[in-house]
Amino acid sequence: LAADDTGVISATLVSIGTSLSGRELTSMDKSIITSSTSLFALLVSPFSSFLADRLGRRAVVLYADILFIIGALMQASSYTVTGMVAGRCVIGLAVGAASFVVPLYLAEVAPASHRGRVVTTNVLFITLGQVVAYVLGWALSTLVTKEVGWRWMVGLGAVPGALQGVIVLFMPETPRWLVKVGRSGHARAVVLRINGGSRGQQSDADAVIKSIEREVREEREAQRLHGHEGRWKWLGVWRELLLERRNRRALAIACLLQGLQQLCGFNSLMYFSATIFTLVGYRSPTLTSLTVAVTNFIFTLVALGLIDRVGRRRILLWSMPFMVVGLLLAAYGFSFIRLGTSSGVSSTEAGQEQLGYRGAATMVLVSIMVYCAAYALGLGNVPWMQSELFPLSVRSVGSGLATATNWGANFVVGLTFLLFMDALTPTWTFVLYAGVCGVGYGLVWAIYPEMAGVSLEENAETG
pLDDT 10s digits, 84-117: 999 999 999 999 898 888 888 887 887 766 777 7
Q: Are 360 and 337 in contact (CB under 8 A)?
A: yes
What distance in Å separates the CA atoms of residue 38 and residue 409, rounded to the nearest whole number?
8
Residue 90: C-alpha distances to residues 36, 64, 130, 163, 413 (Å): 9, 10, 20, 18, 20
Q: Helix (H, G, I), strand (E, B), or coil: what is residue 24?
A: coil
Count CA within 13 A, CB hemisphere, residue 61: 25
Element (H, E) at 343: none
What distance in Å separates the CA atoms of residue 429 and residue 364, rounded to the nearest whole number?
13
What distance in Å separates the CA atoms of residue 207 and residue 205, rounded to the nearest whole number?
5
What distance in Å separates the CA atoms of residue 369 and residue 390, rounded to the nearest whole number?
34
Confidence at 343, pLDDT banded by 50, 70, 90 = very low
pLDDT of residue 199: 55
What distance in Å separates the CA atoms of residue 294 and residue 298, rounded to the nearest whole number?
6
pLDDT of residue 197: 59
Confidence at 141, pLDDT banded by 50, 70, 90 = confident
pLDDT of residue 191: 82
Q: Which residues of 320-359 are buried (b: 16+ CB within 10 A; e: fewer)?
A: bebbbbbbbbbbbbbeebebbeebbbbbeebbebbeebee
Q: Helix (H, G, I), strand (E, B), or coil: what is residue 453?
A: coil
Residue 390 has pLDDT above 70, yes or no: yes
pLDDT of residue 229: 56
Confidence at 129, pLDDT banded by 50, 70, 90 = confident
What distance in Å separates the CA atoms of residue 426 and residue 436, rounded to the nearest whole number?
16
Confidence at 1, pLDDT banded by 50, 70, 90 = low
Confidence at 440, pLDDT banded by 50, 70, 90 = very high
pLDDT of residue 449: 80
Confidence at 352, pLDDT banded by 50, 70, 90 = very low
Of the candidates 331, 306, 329, which has an alpha carbon nearest to the alpha carbon of residue 318? 306
Q: Are 17 and 303 in contact (CB under 8 A)?
A: no
Average pLDDT, the chain: 82
Per the model's pLDDT, the better-predicted residue between 326 and 178 turns out to be 326
Residue 264 has pLDDT above 90, yes or no: yes
User: What dihedral do alpha carbons 422, 425, 431, 433 form, nearest 10°?
Assistant: 10
pLDDT of residue 233: 63
What distance in Å separates the CA atoms of residue 436 and residue 338, rounded to the nearest whole number?
26
Q: Helix (H, G, I), strand (E, B), or coil: what is residue 110?
A: coil
Per the model's pLDDT, the better-predicted residue between 72 and 279 turns out to be 72
